[in-house]
Amino acid sequence: MAEARPIRWLLRRPLIAAAGLTILGLVLVGTLAHAVAPYSPTAVDASHVFSRPDRSHLFGTDRFGRDLLSRILFGIRVSLGIAGAAIAAALLAGGTLGMLAGLGRATDQALGRLMDVFFAFPPILLAIAIAAVLGAGPGTAMVAIAVVYAPLFFRVVRGSVLAESAQTYVEAAEALGLGRLAILFRHILPNVISPIVIQTAVCLSYAILIESALSYLGVGVQPPTPSWGAILNEGKEFLLLAPWVSLFPGAFIMLAVLALNVLGDGLRDVLDPRAETR
């Protein structure tokens, strides 16, 4: 593939390029939050409680006089970090089980039945239930999201593996006397990467929504740790008094989710031309 191709491809799709840049920018700013944020995210300032957004506090302050912009910037780490780690865990667990479902009919049936149990819950409800059991906290939010999305990765990988298994190259590998596990991981896996990549982008956006919903409801990340949802949770009692505490973090959630959705659609167009959104 010529080197200029992806760049030219992106230039013709400014929306997808913008989405990619947004995610990159958020990750970068979140990583450098210590250097970029104007204040400490937990520095209390009694003389500036509920300051409106102005030049010294661009996004205003909350009920403890903490700078909202700084909290949101540090919140990138927490919110994107939890979502990223959770989806990585879900991908690893669900993906591996999905590959193993290709071992044989009995394994497939047993794993399928097990996953059905998790599919029996609306995603956010399962996450809330797990959070209720484990007790609020960032680790809880991560585990809850991973458990919710692992079955989805299982289903996607399993479906692709089963479809690939009918291909001629698999028959050829079998005829050569390769073991089933070797065929699965050495030959089939490289061919099912595309749906996994698409699924990962889409699930990341849902994971951000679920983390913020859990924290907003009070069963995820707890104050004073700044996650976007937790900041919204602290702002909800003062919505009419200090709307900025609710408005800004929510806008960041939407921005991140929107960018990931656009990116997911774009990836689908590239990697799975058959399903191109015309």
Residue position matching structure tokens 């030219």: 8
Tell me the site size for other proteins, rule CB under 8 A.
Answer: 43
- 20 is an interface residue for other proteins by CB under 8 A: no
> By the 8 A CB rule, do 231 and 61 touch?
no
- 121 is an interface residue for other proteins by CB under 8 A: yes
Neighbours of 269 (CB within 10 A): 17
- 120 is an interface residue for other proteins by CB under 8 A: yes
- 212 in the Ramachandran plot: left (φ > 0), alpha (ψ -120 to 50) or beta? alpha
Least distance to other proteins from the beta carbon of 103, Å?
21
- 199 is an interface residue for other proteins by CB under 8 A: no
Q: 179: buried, middle or exposed (CB in 10 Å: 19+, 13-18, 0-12)?
A: exposed
Q: What is the 3-state secondary structure (H, E, C) of 219-240?
A: CCCCCCCCCHHHHHHHHHHHCC
Here the tokens at position 129 are 């239930």
- 25 is an interface residue for other proteins by CB under 8 A: no
- Identity of the residue, 174 or 265, whose beta carbon is nearer to other proteins in the bound complex: 265
Identify the residue among 43, 133, 181, 182 touching other proteins (CB under 8 A).
133
Report the site for other proteins in 242-261 (rule: CB under 8 A): 243, 246-247, 250-251, 253-254, 257-258, 261
Cα-based angle 57, 59, 61 (whole degrees, multiple of 5): 65
Which residues are near other proteins by CB under 8 A? 113-114, 116-117, 120-125, 128-130, 132-133, 135, 205, 209, 212-213, 216-219, 229, 232, 236, 239-240, 243, 246-247, 250-251, 253-254, 257-258, 261-262, 265, 277-278
